[in-house]
Amino acid sequence: MNRKKKQSQKVGDESSGDLIPKMKLPKRLQKIRNALPQQVKMTILTILGFAFVFGLVGIFVLSQFQEVLYGRARNQVLAPFQTDVSGQGTYNNTLDYTATMKSKIDLPHENTIYMQKIEGRWFMFYRQKDVVSFVDITVEHQTVEVYQTRLIWIFSLAAVALLVISLTLSRANMRPIMRSWRQQRTFVADAAHEFKTPMTVIQNNMERMLERPNDTVMDQVESVANTLTEVRHLNQLVGDLLTLAQADADIPLFAFADFDLAKMMTEVCGIFRFSAEERNQSISLSVPEQLKMVGDEQRIRQLLVILIDNALKYAGEDSQVKLQAELAGNNVRILISDTGKGVSDFDKKHLFDRFYRVDKARSRSTGGHGLGLSIAKWVVQGHRGVINVKDTKPHGTTFEIVLPRSQKKVNPQK
């Protein structure tokens, strides 16, 4: 019973963990093997595999090449011992295997073909009893040596070239997979953190209310208000996560139709005007009287709300936010700029990453969770557009969106 357990344990150890089967190696090699990353191990295994396969192919090709070149000489050396039509053999290029010849030519076995070099020339010999036939194969042997060297070089260079191409393509193909895997891990960790904070606040408020069962609603109004705020925050977070999950799944979420972008921007600007005035901020709008385009009206509205809200939150008090829209050929160009403190070049590269925040200390106070700009970029890309981040002179940030005026009018629900 114990023996079976040990055997099963040993099989389990071999089948789990490392992708490369473990072999019995010296301790020093074992330490080196364990210290190597998995990717390096796979690279070494690939190199050994290529060397083995090309070695076998090279040996086969060389053997066939020699078979072709030495075939005629082999037939000639066997001809003296083969009967012709009259029933008698031909005895050209033969000699007696005497004691004198044995001292010069070593042919220990009968019915065996030998190749030997004598006085600078190569010969093929075949012996039956005391009769030896021979053929001069110097030319054939020199040809084999020349082409054998060339074939070895050709196969070696081809193996190296294919190996480099294979490793390059495999790494290129694995790069987006590894990037997606890292982003997925980061996304899960950040999402868990975003959920944990409001859930902790809600739990603390609920426990505080349970500790005071005789208090009225007015006595607990602060706890109720905080809980409601966190619930709204969670609701927004879940909605944004659902939107991004649907975007990752390539679910069609755009319904394109004609609408007036100038009218929409005027409406959205009016929504934020009151909240901007409360913080001594000014918001201005510069659009033509009419700006028709084809797009998903609700998604474009969501895009504008995200960018304007982001500008007002992070520009600070006594700042200015300016909205512009204009035609640019067959495209529509939208500019949303502020006069805040601006964004560093490093932050510009990561602004559209999920859960990324420039000012992490103010994330909770502003109510953001770092998904808005990711959704904004997805909306722009869904319209086959481009979004860029620039600096506002003398200071501040400008978001530039370029969208095509026309889209295929496809209703995703049909």
Q: Kindly give the residue spans of alpha helices, DSSP state H, lying in 316-413.
A: 345-350, 363-366, 372-382
What average pLDDT score do residues 151-171 get?
82
Q: Which residues 6+ apart lie within 8 Å of 255 measured at CB?
A: 296, 298, 410, 411, 412, 413
What whole-number distance in Å separates Cα of residue 215 and Cα of residue 352?
A: 46
Does 172 or 306 have the greater pLDDT score? 306
For the cut 60, the answer to whether the pLDDT of residue 193 exceeds it is yes
Residue 8 phi, psi dihedral angles, 5° rounding = -65, -35
How many other β-carbons are positioned within 10 Å of the β-carbon of residue 385? 20
Confidence of residue 20 (pLDDT cuts 50, 70, 90): very low
Q: What are the residue boundaries of the structural domains of the chain, listed by start?
A: 254-404
Determine contact, residues 83/89, Cβ cutoff 8 Å. yes
Half-sphere exposure of 290 (CA within 13 A, CB side): 3
How many other β-carbons are positioned within 10 Å of the β-carbon of residue 344? 10
Percent of residues, the chain, with pLDDT higher than 90? 17
pLDDT digits (tens, 9 = 90+) for 54-91: 888 888 888 887 887 788 888 887 877 765 544 444 44
pLDDT digits (tens, 9 = 90+) for 250-301: 767 788 999 999 999 999 998 888 888 888 899 999 999 899 999 999 899 9
For the cut 50, the answer to whether the pLDDT of residue 16 exceeds it is no
Give the C-alpha distances (Å, rounded to integers) separating 284 from 258, 311, 319: 25, 13, 11
Residue 396 phi, psi dihedral angles, 5° rounding = 125, -175
Q: Which residues 6+ apart lie within 8 Å of 50 measured at CB?
A: 159, 162, 163, 166
Q: What is the CATH class of 254-404?
A: alpha beta
What whole-number distance in Å separates Cα of residue 24 and Cα of residue 27?
A: 9
For the cut 80, the answer to whether the pLDDT of residue 406 exceeds it is yes
Token pair in block for residue 231: 């619930």
